[in-house]
Amino acid sequence: MKIIIINSGSSSIKYQLIDMPSNEVICNGMIDRIGLESSNFTYATNSVKVEETLPIANHKVGLQKISQLLMDGTVGVIKSTSDIDAVGHRVVHGGSTFSDTTLITAEVKEKIRQLCDLAPLHNPANLEGINVAEEIFTSAKQIAVFDTAFHQTMPVEAYKYAIPNYLLTEHKIRAYGFHGTSHKYVSTKAIEYLKAANKPHKNIISIHLGNGCSITAVKDGKCIETSMGFTPVSGLVMGTRSGDIDPSVIFHLIKTLNYSADEVNALLQKQSGMLGLTGFSDLRDIQANAADGNKDCQLALAMNTYRIKKYIGSYTSALNGLDAIIFTAGIGENSAEIRELVCTEMDYFGLQLDKEKNQIRSKEIREINTADAKTKILVIPTNEELEIANQVYDLLLN
């Protein structure tokens, strides 16, 4: 069964064509900077890689370009779009409506559209990807996998806010959590790894660090708490998002400093986090400038990792124990400095980092803790596309 995974961002498309159930990646690639004259396009199989810089006006043009390469006489891997059995779409916000992988219908699309206000950077692009894929892959099943689904196992005391009850019962205002596909994938891999080594695997904390960041407490394979809430703004310090903030700051910005509600939203979503603290949103730039003595960058790194450490402490309490922590996603997998800052002076939680192991880069699961450490420190490369493919395949089988 051939399943193509579409992960549509506001200005990007990541994709993988995967043969199931073998999990063989037939081809993969991405388009970024959609809407600009200098969009970057990549397409790779086991034997060939295509890289181009060209204008990609919108998601429709981008997906048409992908389908052309898939069927190309020289580098293509399928004869026609009818060779695709299913299209799996990453959808960020499923609200309280979607707790499972779902076959896409007109009603499902309408509910995704209604949730766009809760994930304005993501759901509109996800919906656009669905609409365009329906036009191109006309014979394929279109299936949505929701980032919020993994977190639906949180107990009510974790997801409910201390606000009047009717706001939950009538308006569904609650914590939903995000990056669920990634957290599910890496926590499952961690449990398999620890079981095989005959190590404790009951209580795990998964730390997803990219431009967006979140941390999740996983007990017996199920999410019991996560840092992102009603929208993806709360929790850890992120690339451009503020993370946790006193709600009164918002009222102060509006009433005293004359910000509009839209301006506050833009401030917290796009102008805060590491960008607001340093002027840079790319961690590599921040680390380089911090090494050169930039005090704003040094403080931002300290604030970022201090917030993560606080969450580790609170989640260890919620779990009533800690067997392992996981670092994953672009920053979590690649930044030895961030991992070291997080794990420094965390001996009480059994976290003891092996600095030499921490410098090793690999695409495989690896331990970076000392041999005698009580708690495992794991680096696990995430693979949201493969997790989506597995969920799509399971749905179609049943």
8 Å CB contact between 78 and 2: yes
Mean pLDDT of the chain: 93
8 Å CB contact between 205 and 322: yes
- 149 is written with which tokens? 């689904």
Confidence of residue 95 (pLDDT cuts 50, 70, 90): confident
The CA distances from residue 139 to 25, 82, 85, 88, in Å, are: 21, 6, 7, 14
Is 90 exceeded by the pLDDT of residue 391? yes
Q: Show contacts of 48-56: CB within 8 Å, 24+ apart.
A: 48/75, 50/75, 56/31
Q: Which of the residues 85, 100, 117, 147 is marked catalytic?
A: 147
As annotated, the binding site for ATP includes 14, 208-212, 282-284, 330-334
Q: Read off the pLDDT of each residue in 94-107 and give the average, rounded to a whole number.
A: 88
pTM for this model (two decimals): 0.89
Edge-to-edge strand list for the sheet holding 222-226 = 222-226, 213-219, 203-209, 324-328, 376-379, 366-367
Q: What is the pLDDT of residues 194-218, one digit of tens each?
A: 999 999 999 999 999 988 899 999 9
Q: Read off the pLDDT of each residue in 174-179 and give the average, rounded to a whole number.
A: 93
Q: Read off the pLDDT of each residue in 141-158 and give the average, rounded to a whole number.
A: 94
354 is catalytic: no
Dist. CA 6–CA 28, nearest whole Å: 10
Confidence of residue 245 (pLDDT cuts 50, 70, 90): very high
Q: What is the pLDDT of residues 262-286, one digit of tens each?
A: 999 999 999 999 999 999 988 989 9
Q: DSSP secondary structure string, 239-257? A: SS---S--HHHHHHHHHTS
The CA distances from residue 166 to 97, 201, 264, 278, 390, in Å, are: 17, 38, 26, 40, 37
pLDDT of residue 282: 85
Confidence of residue 99 (pLDDT cuts 50, 70, 90): confident
Of the candidates 290, 306, 289, the one whose C-alpha atom is nearest the C-alpha of residue 298 is 290
pLDDT of residue 256: 97
8 Å CB contact between 83 and 1: no
Is 90 exceeded by the pLDDT of residue 13? no
Domains of the chain by start residue, with CATH: 2-146 (3.30.420.40), 199-379 (3.30.420.40)
8 Å CB contact between 205 and 315: yes
Q: If DSSP states are collapsed to H, E and C, what string results for 27-76?
A: EEEEEECCCCCCEEEEEECCCCEEEEEECCCCHHHHHHHHHHHHCCCCCC
Is 70 exceeded by the pLDDT of residue 372? yes
Query: Taking the mean position of all CA atoms in its chain, how far away is CA 297?
Result: 24
Is 80 exceeded by the pLDDT of residue 120? no
Confidence of residue 236 (pLDDT cuts 50, 70, 90): very high
As annotated, the binding site includes 7, 14, 90, 208-212, 282-284, 330-334, 384
As annotated, the binding site for substrate includes 90
Confidence of residue 10 (pLDDT cuts 50, 70, 90): low
SS3 310: helix
